[in-house]
Amino acid sequence: MDRRQHRRAGATVGAMVITVGLGASATGCGSGAAAEDARGPSDPVATLQRAAGALHEAGSSRAGTSMEMATGGTRVTIRGQGVYDFRRRLGQLTVVLPQDPTGSAEHRPITELLAPGALFMKNRGAGVPADKWVRVDTATLSDGNLVTGGATDPYAAAELLRGTRTASYVGRTEVGGVAVRHYRGTADLATAAKRASAGNRAALESAAKGFATARVPFDAYLDGEGRIRKLRQRFSFVNGRQKATVAVTSTTLLYGFGAPVDVRLPRARDIYAGRIAEDEPKDAPRDEPENGPENGAAGGAMNRSRN
């Protein structure tokens, strides 16, 4: 596989005198709890930096993803569904590309396997045989696979919060019927890379260099155990051909904690080693993109929507 492919490609009643006394105490405690809840945790930054650890303790979950891109007046949304093992850092997602401009659903769902340092894709298209997988080394991607696959690796998204620089507590709400605390802040990719686990460090370092800015605004929703239930992150990268900044919003939903996860990585003989055809027309400019996400599964969908 050549270098070009690598680049694209969330919770008694006693005597009257005693009751009155307890009632007063209870009232005081209740007021204090309400006040504390209004403020949220005393240190939102530290709370968010611990979120990835809470997922590791949870073990596994089901996951839903969406990635929305806006470029050239066109808005594209790619959705995924699957499971993730936070201890082994293995996941499987079925990613559904949007319809083309004519409205025909011509794109087969892409099966993605997420592993430390690697992304495997099946039904990638672009000349890849139907029974073969495409393997991409995430450290070679200028976005660290935060965008390329059309879905952000759930644990990489959580580890990005290790780089939280500023954050504030917004208030209580619900996600999927679960009470959560909503935080809003900004994370720094370079800082996150330094604090990330070994499997994510190189990919996040690459993203810190490859994106238009290393600052990532986010909204995080944590449950009573500090686990991420919903995480929305906003990335910016440079469109290599048009030299314009493209905004990407990635949303990860986590639920069903403890769900069984059985991810089996492809055997070497099942991995495609040939060249992947490009997603643009043959007569399109062949400029090498400055930042790789445009030519991944997400970028390919953008290209097809524009053409």
The confidence score (pLDDT) of residue 39 equals 52
pTM, rounded to two decimals? 0.79
The confidence score (pLDDT) of residue 291 equals 40
- Mean pLDDT by groups of 10 residues along the chain of 307 residues: 45 32 38 48 92 97 94 83 97 88 68 95 82 92 89 96 97 97 97 94 92 95 97 86 80 98 94 68 36 47 41
Contacts 24+ apart (CB under 8 A), 172-175: 172/37, 173/221, 175/221, 175/229, 175/230, 175/253
How far is residue 196 from each of residues 7, 190, 205, 270, 286, measured CA to CA in Å?
22, 10, 10, 31, 35
